[in-house]
Amino acid sequence: MNLRDLTNSIELKVSKEAKEYSEFVKNKNNSLIDRLEVFEDIINIEVGDTSLMRAKSLERDYNLRQLYLKTEGDNPTGTQKDRIAFAQVYDALRREYDTISLATCGNYGSAVALAAHLAGIECKIFIPESYHTARIEEMVDLGSEILRLRGSYEDSVTESSKLAQDNGWYDANPGGANTPLQIMAYSQIAFEIYDQLRDAPRICAVPISNGTLLAGIYRGFVSLYKRGKTSRVPQMLGASSVRKNPIVYSFNKGLDYCADLNPDLIKETKFNEPLINWHSFDGEEALYAMKESNGSAHNVSDQEMKSMSKYLLNKESKSILPASTAGLIGLLKEHEKNEIEPDRYVAILTAKNSK
């Protein structure tokens, strides 16, 4: 049995106001312009503006100043995926699609299911038949249709994109034409960090899977720097499961392209599975971001992620999915290796753990 996207099933909550706005958006008797404006209101209420807090216990225990944790689990379905899901559904609504489709291992599917439900758009979610996730129940409860496909996640992305084209559905899969939109959605994280710190951190540490998140945050900081808002662009630090991510592998090999890994050599566990890929859909963008920012890439073990998740719960009162701590662990590894000087550092924690 393959276990994917092990964020535990959480109660999906949106505000009463967002639910009321949703009824307006779903009503096709209202003008499209008005429906889009109200859906933007839902996004502004529910998505983003996640907490950025000093981690003083970590600072004391690891002799590192000043360390901030950006907690993306504050989003409505508990992960950063809400940012791109709501952006894709907004685009589908704007272009007057009746159906949106995608392949998922769990988290992204729940995020799109919620956004599509609020927008009144039919949602078809493709999941590899061998994969099991507790989030399927959420997707079904939100009115999405679950379809199983043979093969790997990457195979499901390819097949579901073909089906979307054949049937005239909006294709919300990662990569391709969706990359610019998703990078723009993730760039908001950089703007939120700037709003609080009033400058860029020296290092921004991010867990890596497909690479879109890291690439988007980098683009946000580049935009801020070019507009004269920040004094620098942070070094982008990416981290993933040991020898199971092509971006980390390619960076550490000094490659100028993102090389695919051998899928037969990649084994997922309940701790590493949100991070692992043999092919990263936005790997080139993430690799470019790390190289251009003089960043770094790190491998982390299951035990390290499990231990850090427990540490954050006990010392920082944060319930975080183990895989979501990969960037933070990579930053601490960098500090152990090079003893980075006091400055401002940010680690992105991508998902909450409801246990």
Q: How many domains is the chain built from?
A: 2
- Residue 144: the pLDDT is 94
Q: What is the DSSP letter of 351?
A: B
Q: What is the DSSP letter of 288?
A: H
Domain identity same for 166 and 287: no
Check which CATH number belongs to the domain holding 220 and give it: 3.40.50.1100
pLDDT at residue 275 is higher than 90: no
Q: What is the mean pLDDT of residues 278-288?
A: 92
pLDDT band at residue 355, thresholds of 50, 70 and 90?
low
Domain identity same for 202 and 165: no
Domain identity same for 63 and 101: no
Show contacts of 145-154: CB within 8 Å, 24+ apart.
Answer: 149/103, 152/128, 152/263, 152/278, 153/4, 153/103, 153/105, 153/128, 154/263, 154/277, 154/278, 154/279
In a domain, 17, yes or no: no
The SS3 call for residue 149 is strand
In a domain, 262, yes or no: yes
Domain boundary among 158, 177, 196: 177
pLDDT band at residue 327, thresholds of 50, 70 and 90?
very high
> Residue 29: exposed, middle, or buried by beta-carbon count in 10 A (0-12, 13-18, 19+)?
exposed
Separation of alpha carbons 321 and 350, rounded Å? 8
pLDDT at residue 7 is higher than 80: no
pLDDT band at residue 336, thresholds of 50, 70 and 90?
very high
Domain boundary among 177, 196, 228: 177
Q: What is the mean pLDDT of residues 238-247?
A: 94
Separation of alpha carbons 133 and 148, rounded Å? 13
Domain boundary among 156, 177, 198: 177
Q: What is the mean pLDDT of residues 122-141?
A: 86
pLDDT at residue 13 is higher than 90: no
In a domain, 11, yes or no: no
Separation of alpha carbons 183 and 199, rounded Å? 20
pLDDT at residue 314 is higher than 60: yes
- What percent of the chain has a predicted confidence (pLDDT) above 90? 79
In a domain, 5, yes or no: no
Q: What is the mean pLDDT of residues 105-129?
A: 93
Q: What is the mean pLDDT of residues 96-125?
A: 94
Domain identity same for 228 and 276: yes
The pTM (predicted TM-score) of the whole model is 0.93
In a domain, 18, yes or no: no
Domain identity same for 183 and 203: yes
Residue 127's nearest CA partner among 80, 90, 94, 173 is: 173
Domain identity same for 292 and 146: no
Domain identity same for 118 and 137: yes
Domain identity same for 145 and 221: no
pLDDT at residue 272 is higher than 60: yes
In a domain, 33, yes or no: yes
pLDDT, tens digit (0-9, with 9 covering 90-100), for 184-199: 999 999 999 999 999 9
pLDDT at residue 10 is higher than 80: no
In a domain, 89, yes or no: yes
- Residue 353: the pLDDT is 83
- Residue 354: the pLDDT is 65
Domain identity same for 336 and 266: yes
Contact assessment for residue 205 and residue 330, using Cβ atoms and an 8 Å cutoff: yes
pLDDT at residue 97 is higher than 70: yes
Domain of residue 123, residue span: 25-44+79-177
- Residue 215: the pLDDT is 97
pLDDT, tens digit (0-9, with 9 covering 90-100), for 17-68: 999 999 999 999 999 999 999 999 999 999 999 999 999 999 999 999 999 9
Domain identity same for 151 and 118: yes
Residues in contact with 165: Cβ distance below 8 Å, sequence separation at least 6, in sequence order: 171
Domain identity same for 188 and 72: yes
Domain identity same for 256 and 133: no
